[in-house]
A and B are shown apart, each in its own frame.
Chain A
Amino acid sequence: MELVIKNLCKTYSNGVKALDSLSLEISNGMFGLLGPNGAGKSSLMRTLATLQEADSGTIYLNDINILENPIELRKILGYLPQEFGVYPKITAKQLLDHLAILKGITNNKERIELVNFLLQKVNLYEKRNKSVKGFSGGMKQRIGIAQALIGNPKLIIVDEPTAGLDPGERNRFHNLLADVAEDVIIILSTHIVEDVRELCQNMAIMNQGKLICKGRPQHVIDELNDKVWQKLIGRNELEEYSNEHMIISNKMVGGKPLIHVLSDIKPGVGFTLVPPTLEDVFFSKINTTREVV
């Protein structure tokens, strides 16, 4: 499986450039897509899921032209949108069954088996005859994940899947994805950096509709070796430091800001070299301005 995106552009009617001549190639396995809010991740995902027209550019999955022939892609697509709602008055089982039929699983026996299996996998088998509308956010999200796996999808797109899941559910979800990721492409959009590091063979970071970084997670991290410095500073010193250094992140530790600074040499007294994390990569890529995140 090979997903090839070339020069994809999309401008909304309010003038926002959601996708700005974006090109990307993705092959089998899990692919993590990082980016801040409004980076264009969801636009890309929706376009890939055939739910949005692009202004220009092409997308091919093997030899399926997604933009020209959405119908073919839908047959092998698993999609969990960012916001996943459910029909009122419909039980979990009915909903999955319905979606399985939509995905062409016409054999009743197979379908029942699959639905039951998925319900067990997302730990909702006990609640299969309850109305989904009444489920909690996490439970709904699990149904969403289950439905994305129906019907031998070759391309699975999951937009912010772990938001709202507790750690246990998150683990279960990761396992589930890893299981099916063998010979399919899974694109995972998230802003939880950890998810990407743990799961993805490949990743990319998007900002303002552009791809600003791609590669294997470890590889990307390695690029920052010996360049990330940290220091615990006073709260009133933050402005001063941000003027002088390229701060890629700051977070509070024990009530004081702990800043990370990108620098080839030691930026000053009190800074210590730390091994870079994916988070550093993320912040260093998107904070092109000197604005402190």
Chain B
Amino acid sequence: MFKTFFLKEISMGIKRPMTYIFFSIFTIIATIGVVNENIVFGGAVGNVLKNAPHIITIYVANMSIFGLLIATAYFNNAALRDYQNHFDEIIFSTPIHKAGYFFGRFFGALFLSTIPLLGVFLGFLIGSNMGPEEGMMNANRVGDLQLNVFVNNYFLYVLPNMFVSGAIIYAIALKWKSTIISFIATVIIIIGYLVTGTFLTDINTEYLAAITDMLGVRAYQIDSKYFTSVEKNTNVISVNGWLFINRIIWVIIALVIIVSSYISFSFIQKNKKAEKEKKASKKDQTIKIYSLPRVQSSFNFMTSIKQFISFFKINFYTILKSNTFKIMLIVGALILINKLLNGFDFYGVKSYHVTYKMLDFNRPICTIVGMIMLVFFSGELVWKERSSNINGVIDGSPHSSIVLLLAKITSLIVINVVFDVFLILISISYQLLSGYTSPDIHVYVLDFIYSGLLMYIAWSCILVFIQIIINHKYISYFISIVLLFLFEFVIVDALGIESFMLNLGFTPNYQYSDMNGFSEALISKNWFSLYWILFGLLLITIGSLLWIRGSLKRIKDRIKSAKKHFTKKYALILITIVHLFFLTTSFVYYNTQIINPYKSVNEIEVMQVSYEKKYKKYENTPQPKFGDVTYKVDIYPKERNLLAKTHISLLNKTNATIDSLHYSISRYYAKEKWDIVLKIPNAKLVLDDKELGYQIYKLDTPLQPGSKIDIVIDAVYKSQGFENTVSNLRVAKNGTFIECSYILPTIGYDKNNELMDQNDRKKYNFPSRKRMATLNANDDINTKQNYFTEGESDWVNVETIISTSSNQIAIAPGTLIKEWRANGRSYFKYKNDHSSLNFVNFMSAEYKVSRKKWNGIDLEVYYHKDHDYNIDMMLDAIEESLKYYTKNFGPYVHNQARIIEIPRYYNFAQAFPGTMPYTEGGGFTTDLSNKNDNNVIEAIIAHEMAHQYWAHQIVGANMQGATMLSESFSEYAALMVMKNRIKDDSKMKQYLNYDFEKYLKGRSAETEKELPLYKVENQGYIHYGKGSVVLYALQDYIGEKKMNTALKTFLDEYKYKESPYPTTHDFLRHLKPQVPDSLNYLITDWIKEITLYDYRLNNADYKRKGNGKYEVSMDIEAYKIKVDSLGTETKVKQHDWVDIGVYRDTDKKHLIYSKRVLFTDEKMNFSFEVDTIPAKAVIDPKRLLIERVIDDNSKEF
């Protein structure tokens, strides 16, 4: 019996085209994913192969989200087919077994639903073979496929996911017997998956994501987050880690569901609820002699309006009152509230509930859930008449199809509006409840219109059109979803087309900033919205012809009927819309392609190639360096224009006579386009490559060694019209922030213009490129350059005259010498107090200023008027930093220390001499009212203040390790400021957890190779993450004093010294005398090599001893691992000092005993005595050593 139903189910499914359509779609997606170099989904970049086991798993896992829809179709059909065909009463009265029927159908559907996902496997097979053979990609980008990758993915992802979701859907379908409810269940599963993502934002809650995500995607994400490229290429998923736990939990849940569904399933129909017929009223309804009341039918424009309103009401109410919509509202509200309660994490700290933060939460929900609703309800509405069987009457009534269509589209839009407004109201209430009393209502409303309403209009038209054209509800759903989620992927990633004119239904995004409002992107966003809305209207106008009225089935009939509706009036409307669309298209095209052209990634690649081919030969041509400089910068915030004139001297610091000057005036890697013109006296422009931006000037009198000339450089940015994506946000209406490098040319050949990606370089037969010069103290060229200016200048004097509109303050580094007004504008003159790097920022915005003095130094915070939350904290942080640094490192050379707020587009803080821009999205809005939270503001400001020493007094040679000397040291310095203020090891540990995460996750995403700290090549996860962790641990092992002594002597030797610039070797020379011989190994393990530890506390117990004390015994398993640059790990012999200890409480708050012991073997036992009853034993309680898994380091007694 089981077999019969099972096979029957399969044979029926095999005959349906759906199976093949879905199968081919997955095959195509995976094939393209493998062969297309631009698609890096899952992280197939650098050394990670395009068909690495990790990548296959990522594809399978993510595709199984789409696979859910397919599962729904199969399981729902298996459960409900008999009911929907009214065959139930017949089949259930035959002598079939319940189990055979129930499970036969279920497993049949299960088998079927796994078939489409096999397409992913086929796609990988095809892609891995076809790609290299057809020359679409380099053969070394793919590896051999192993069978067990497919098998394991099938049994760990495809089958369980279909089983779990199938069980839920099957049970729900049998319970409620409604296709709609089954689909709602699917949508809820998908939304559930999205919600679990919010747990990933903080490392303390990510295990929740691993468990609660039914599809196991998050679990694998967490399992693999520290994978290096070698592991990604070789590790095949298997039964371990979070994924395994997740699978077990969910399969058990699914079993429970399916068994209980089986138990409650019965062939016997439950008694239908007896309809309570109300007794007719006592008054007898006598049949009167009657005639129909005389009514007047009229058909004119007013009639159409009334019909429209009536249709709208009907369509809108039926959805508004539907359970689906109510569930969506609840789901939307829950996601939002969840995000509001758990979101905003940066080092575990939340931010104040300023309106733009709220938009960051509710807008994505409105977009995602809104899109799901649009897709779902577009089908519901288009099929409403047919599914409620009223189509005969409606279709035969004298309304114009376009009226009905417009009414449907309007209800679709209004439904989303209701949802959107609902979430906005929740957001506002949340702001009010949490004490933020001035929500910006107008910002909500405008954001709703720009990013919500306009998009709903465009997509409603598009989705309804799909439903009309395809004329099959579920296939249309699938196509809609594919278009929504994959179209952008294909257009932008695979084909490299960046124009929003081809990216179906999408428009440029703005980021709302309290400082700069909706930014310059708004204008182009609105134009693109208009463009897509007109496109949608055009589709709908065409669609209205093909609208099914009556029982048309064949395409021939539809065309015939369409011809009939093609009236003059229709043609007129069509022509009008086509014209409007054409005009808008032209205007948008003119603005985004003609007056604001941009280069596609591929075009830039071609330029990079020719540039390197043509001009690489000049790389080592001796050139004069930049010397002292005066900038004159005029900012026009309202017009978004900036004019700069730089007077700069050129110094020949070489031993050679220089007769020609080389400049690169285009930076391909930067989006911002500046017109740069050089005025060099007594020189002739002998080469002017306008396309590639390379110029050579021949000097009439060559520049002798040691001599100089003064030149003038004009740089202009003028904005006009609107762009596809805003290229130059740097020049803003409120919040201009540029660096001097934008308004200067690059001296000579610009290495940064080269192709960076090693695989791309291979394609063009370029030798592989070094990210940085190899660490070598004897390298004569690179030790003469500092890494900051890449040899363009050394220590120089800087002066700036900067002007802006009268309502703004303009800022540049240095002491403000003079301030005046002219021509209705404000002028400022700044001068650096000390020679410095030629690293200068020019800023302008409407600022309020808060000031304080410390030891004669002006401490200043420039901030946006509404962001006054943490100003005092910032001033304190500057002061704390100055105290520690002046005491431990040496004098602070500037007369001022300024923190300046910048718009949140810049998600960072940065240190210029005495002047430190800091993002509004960071410290200015961070909520640190809870004193126990990590004080990230202090950490960041202390870091930037530390740069005033480490980068601005001492700067590394232009080679490996340079950023350790600036970034790692600044991180270390900031940690010391924190440590000395809070004096609490457990809080420092809590803070450092995030640095561990930064390092371990970062090395997993490495595209080339991981290097030891002292050879870091500007890799953030190494110089920030590992740098923090290692230097903090080092000061714990050798002592803070010794560490600072090493730093100070190093600084004293190299402070403001020109070439040769110091390298990390020079620092290690200063460090060595401070490290006792017994700990010398730390320098090798931590700084010169890559070392990981793996410790496990296998057993821990204690005995009460006769003397009233307790003897603790710990069984420890320990490994020390060395990692090479590709991530290959080797276990090595140990001789390491490691802390072990016990806590009095299980929360690991009170450490009652800790001892540094020597680890030498893989299995060891340690015992010691403590005075009170211990609760928990732990290895490395302060977490100083780099371990990937730390949960197994501790044990409760």
Chain A interfacial positions (CB closer than 8 Å to B): 13, 46, 49-53, 68, 70-71, 74-75, 77, 79-90, 94, 97-107, 110-111, 113-114, 117, 120-121, 123, 125-127, 134, 136, 144, 147-149, 151-152, 172, 175, 179-180
Closest 7 CB pairs of A and B: A85-B389, A51-B550, A81-B392, A104-B297, A74-B398, A102-B397, A101-B310
Per-residue 0/1 for B282-310: is the Cβ within 8 Å of any A Cβ (1 yes, 0 no)? 00010100111111111100110011011
Question: Which residues from 740 to 775 on chain B have a C-beta closer than 8 Å to any C-beta of chain A?
Answer: none
Do B321 and A102 touch across chains, with their CB atoms under 8 A apart? no
Q: B299's contact among A13, A104, A123, A149, by CB below 8 Å, is which?
A: A104
| B396 at interface, CB cutoff 8 A | yes
| B1129 at interface, CB cutoff 8 A | no
Stretch of B338-346, B556-564, B862-870, B924-932 contacting A (4+ beta carbons < 8 Å): B556-564
Provide the residues of chain A in CB contact with B394, threshold 8 Å: 102
CB-CB under 8 A for A80 and B393, given A50-B550, A121-B290 = yes
CB-CB under 8 A for A46 and B550, given A75-B398, A89-B321, A117-B293 = yes
Q: B322's contact among A50, A89, A104, by CB below 8 Å, is which?
A: A89
Do B388 and A51 touch across chains, with their CB atoms under 8 A apart? no
CB-CB under 8 A for A88 and B396, given A53-B552, A97-B310, A105-B295 = no
Closest B residue to A51 by CB, please name it.
B550
| B1080 at interface, CB cutoff 8 A | no
What are some 8 contacts across the A-B interface (CB < 8 A)? A46-B392, A51-B395, A74-B397, A75-B297, A81-B392, A84-B392, A88-B318, A136-B277
Minimum C-beta distance from B557 to chain A (A): 5
Count residues of chain B with CB under 8 A from any CB of chain A. 53
Provide the residues of chain B in CB contact with A85, threshold 8 Å: 388-390
Q: How far is the CA of A134 from the CA of B287 in the complex (A)?
A: 25
Q: How far is the CA of A52 from the CA of B560 in the complex (A)?
A: 11
Closest A residue to B320 by CB, please name it.
A89
| B268 at interface, CB cutoff 8 A | no
Do B557 and A79 touch across chains, with their CB atoms under 8 A apart? no
Minimum C-beta distance from B88 to chain A (A): 18
Do A83 and B392 touch across chains, with their CB atoms under 8 A apart? yes
Q: How far is the CA of A13 from the CA of B555 in the complex (A)?
A: 11
Q: A87's contact among B297, B307, B314, by CB below 8 Å, is which?
A: B314
Provide the residues of chain A in CB contact with B309, threshold 8 Å: 101
Minimum C-beta distance from A144 to chain B (A): 7
Q: How far is the CA of A70 from the CA of B398 in the complex (A)?
A: 9
Q: How far is the CA of A97 from the CA of B398 in the complex (A)?
A: 15
Q: How far is the CA of A110 from the CA of B297 in the complex (A)?
A: 10
Do B292 and A114 touch across chains, with their CB atoms under 8 A apart? yes
Minimum C-beta distance from A211 to chain B (A): 22
Provide the residues of chain A in CB contact with B278, threshold 8 Å: 126-127
CB-CB under 8 A for A123 and B297, given A87-B388, A88-B388 = no
Minimum C-beta distance from B322 to chain A (A): 7
Q: How far is the CA of A1 from the CA of B314 in the complex (A)?
A: 34
Q: How far is the CA of A179 from the CA of B303 in the complex (A)?
A: 28
Q: A144's contact among B277, B297, B384, B393, by CB below 8 Å, is which?
A: B393
Minimum C-beta distance from A45 to chain B (A): 9
| B1189 at interface, CB cutoff 8 A | no
Minimum C-beta distance from B284 to chain A (A): 11
Closest B residue to A130 by CB, please name it.
B278
CB-CB under 8 A for A110 and B396, given A70-B564, A88-B388, A126-B281 = no
Per-residue 0/1 for B716-729: is the Cβ within 8 Å of any A Cβ (1 yes, 0 no)? 00000000000000
Minimum C-beta distance from B339 to chain A (A): 32
Provide the residues of chain B in CB contact with A102, threshold 8 Å: 307, 310-311, 394, 397-399
Provide the residues of chain B in CB contact with A111, threshold 8 Å: 295
Provide the residues of chain B in CB contact with A99, threshold 8 Å: 393, 397
Do A117 and B292 touch across chains, with their CB atoms under 8 A apart? yes
Provide the residues of chain B in CB contact with A71, threshold 8 Å: 398, 400
Q: How far is the CA of A98 from the CA of B294 in the complex (A)?
A: 18
Provide the residues of chain B in CB contact with A104, threshold 8 Å: 297-299, 303, 398
Do A105 and B392 touch across chains, with their CB atoms under 8 A apart? no
Provide the residues of chain A in CB contact with B564, threshold 8 Å: 68, 70
A51-B396, A68-B564, A117-B290 given; name 16 further pairs at CB < 8 Å: A51-B549, A79-B393, A85-B390, A86-B389, A87-B388, A89-B317, A90-B317, A100-B295, A102-B399, A103-B397, A106-B302, A113-B293, A126-B280, A148-B393, A152-B295, A179-B290
Q: How far is the CA of A148 from the CA of B317 in the complex (A)?
A: 24
Do B299 and A53 touch across chains, with their CB atoms under 8 A apart? no
Q: How far is the CA of A90 from the CA of B314 in the complex (A)?
A: 7
Do B384 and A51 touch across chains, with their CB atoms under 8 A apart? no
Q: How far is the CA of A77 from the CA of B397 in the complex (A)?
A: 7
| B275 at interface, CB cutoff 8 A | yes
Q: How far is the CA of A95 from the CA of B1152 in the complex (A)?
A: 78
Q: How far is the CA of A11 from the CA of B561 in the complex (A)?
A: 17
| B551 at interface, CB cutoff 8 A | yes
Q: A50's contact among B292, B295, B313, B396, by CB below 8 Å, is which?
A: B396
